[in-house]
Amino acid sequence: MTWWFNGKPVKDIVNMECYHGFVYMITNTTNGKKYIGQKQFFSMKSKKHNGKKIKVTIESNWRQYYSSSTELKNDIKLIGKEHFKREILCLCISKNQLNYMEAKYQFLYGVLEDESWYNKWINVKCGFSNIRGQKD
């Protein structure tokens, strides 16, 4: 299954290195239940090089990712990936902006207000710089 962004399937993100990650929505097409979350494009890993530990940036598993929600992952196993639509809602340039935008969409859609959402909690800590999209 592919990601969708602005109504088009995504194979790659142009200038992906300019972004920290994205906020997404996954929809179960059999019952309409949804989930809003976030995913980073890259992660830091420790690697040994010439006997020394160094940090390297590697691409995350964002292309295959289907959420951290246990309930959602169980439904995917039960009925199959083909019954879920993955949409990128926005791209974010920093971790702070990513956290802020995830919470903004979760509150905007009211993910805790009824049973039509897989989301069970909202976790956010952000400040003024998050809204401005400033780098971390």
Give residue-wise pLDDT tens across range 20-68: 999 999 999 999 999 999 999 998 788 787 888 888 888 999 999 999 9
Number of helical H runs and strand E runs in the chain: 3, 7
In this prediction, residue 79 has a pLDDT band, given cuts at 50, 70 and 90, of very high
* 104 HSE (CA, 13 A, CB side): 15
Cβ distance 13 to 21 under 8 Å?
A: no
Count CB-CB contacts under 10 A for residue 84. 21
Quote the strand ranges of 60-131, DSSP E.
84-92
- The yes-or-no verdict on residue 126 having pLDDT over 60 is yes
